[in-house]
Amino acid sequence: MKITIVGTGYVGLVTAACLAELGNEVFCLDVDSHKIDALNSGHIPIHEPGLDAIISRNRSAGRISFSTDIRASVEHGDLQFIAVGTPSDEDGSADLQYVLAAARNIGRYMTGFKVIVDKSAVPVGTGERVRRVIEQELTRREINDPAHTFSVISNPEFLKEGAAVEDFMRPDRIVIGVEADGANSRRAGDMMRRLYAPFNRNHERTLYMDIRSAEFTKYAANAMLATRISFMNEMANLSDRVGADIEAVRRGIGADPRIGYHFLYAGCGYGGSCFPKDVRALISTGLEVGEDLKILGAVESVNDRQKDVLIRKITRAYGDDLSSMTFAVWGLAFKPNTDDMREAPSRRLIADLLARGARVRAYDPVAMDAARAVLEDDLARQRGTFSRLTFAANPIETVEDADALVVVTEWKEFKSPDFGELHRAMKAPVIFDGRNLYEPQQMREWGFTYHAIGRSSGLEVALEVSAH
C-alpha cells in the first residue's frame, strides 16, 4: 500500500520504518529541511534500538523516502498518517496547531479518496476538527466531486520508548476509531484492515470503535500507567517513614493477578514525552467539560514532588550547602534505551545540586549530546553553574574522587558494576539510588552507605524474626 507519514519525530519514524518493513511504499514528510537532509544522508535523529537498521534496509530497497514536498506527500499516500507533535500548551492542553496544519495541507492538495489517520496523541474531538479543516479546504477549492471524498480514522500508538520497534511489530492491541458515515468509513476500515492484516494472522488484535473512544483510549492508557507509578512512589515514601521495604511490598501486591507487577517500581519520578503531557491534557479536557479529575491531579502532583526525592535525601545527609562536594550522576535520559531528555528527573536534580554549590560529573550511555544541549539551556538563568557540570566517558571515570554517586536512570550497565572498583574509585562510598537497582544488605557488605527509595530496615527486622 502507498502510505504517507506526516512528521518524522519519534512516532512518525517508528511507524514509517515498521510499515515499510512490511512491504509498503512509505513517503515521510517533514517541514524541517535539516532533519530531512540528515535522514536522507543516513542519520537517524533519535536513539531507538533497531530503528536505524530497518530504515537503512528499506531506504536501500526503495520502500521509504524522506522529503519536504507537501504536494508530493499528499499525492503519494492513499493513507495519510498524521504523526506530528502535540506539545502541552500553557494551560496543559494539547497544542493541535501542527495536527491541523497537516490536515489543512491534505485538503489543499488531495485529488482522490484519502484516509486521514490521526496517529498523534490527541484529545477527544480532534477527529471532528481534522474533518472540518479538510472540508474547509475542499470548499475553498470549490470541489464537490464525490471522488474527492475522505474518511478520518483514529489509530493511536502504544509504543514504549526503548522498545518501540518491538511494540509496533508485536502489538498487544491495535485500536482503530472509525467515523459513522456509511460507505466512506467502511472503505477506510477495509483499507486499515488490509494494512494491519500481517499482525492479525494468529489472532485478531484489532479493536474497532468510534473515533472519540479511540482518542480517549490513548490518554486513559497513559494516565493509568502514570497513576500506578505515582501510587508506588507515594507508597515508597511512606515505607521510608514506617520502616517497610517497598521491594517486598511490590512483590506482595504484584502477586495478586488483579494488580500484577507492571509499572509498580518506585523511583525518582517519570518523565518523557508521553506521560506528563498526556496526564496534563486529560486534566485539561476534564476542566473544559466541567469535570475535575482529582486522581490525575494527584498523580501529577506526586510525580512533580518525586523528582525532588533525591535532592531531599542528599540535603538531609549533607545540609543545603554542597559547595565543597562533587556528585557523580549515572543516567541522564528519562528512561533507558533512549536519548530522550524531555522532563527527565536528572534535569531537576542536576540544577538543584549546582544551585547548592556542588560540582557534578555525569554519564549516560547514549544521551550525552542531548543532555548537554538541554542542560545548558536549563542552567542559563543559573549563571556560572554550567561550568561546574562535566561529562565523563564511562561510569568509573564519573565516580573518581566523588563524594557520592547518584543513580537516576536504570541502564543495564549500571545494574551490576564492579563494586570493589567502584568503592576504590570514590572519595566516599555513598550511593543515592533513584531506581532501587541494588540490594541494601549487599551494599552494606561492600562498605557503602546506601540511600534508596522506600528500602529501609524492614528486611533486617524480618530476617531477625525468622532467625528466632
In angstroms, the CA 219 to CA 358 distance is: 39
From the list 362, 302, 294, 285, the residue with the least C-alpha distance to 326 is 362
Contact 217, 184 (CB under 8 A): no
- With CA atoms as reference, report the closest residue to 366 among 389, 322, 387, 335: 335
Edge to edge, what strands does the sheet with 449-451 contain? 389-391, 359-363, 326-330, 404-407, 430-433, 449-451
Query: What amino acid occupies position 60?
Result: S
- Burial classification of residue 25, based on how many CB atoms lie within 10 Å of its CB (0-12 exposed, 13-18 middle, 19 or more buried): middle
* Burial (CB count within 10 angstroms: exposed 0-12, middle 13-18, buried 19+), residue 160: middle
Query: Rg of the chain's alpha carbons, rounded to an integer?
Result: 25
- Return the closest-CA partner of residue 403 out of 438, 360, 362, 445: 360
| In contact, 446 and 427? CB cutoff 8 Å | no
How many Å apart are CA 41 and CA 25, to the nearest integer? 19
Grid look-up 459513522 returns 180
User: Which segments are annotated as binding site for substrate?
Assistant: 158-161, 218, 263-267, 271, 335
Annotated binding site: 30, 35, 86, 158-161, 218, 263-267, 271, 277, 335, 342
CB distance 210 to 246 below 8 Å:
no
In terms of Cβ atoms closer than 10 Å to its own Cβ (0-12, 13-18, 19+), residue 5 is: buried
Which residue ranges make up the annotated binding site for NAD(+)? 30, 35, 86, 161, 277, 342
What's at 10, amino acid-wise?
Answer: Y
Residue that the C-alpha cell 515498521 belongs to: 18
Place of cell 529501609: 456
Check if 268 is active-site: no
Which residues carry out catalysis?
A: 274
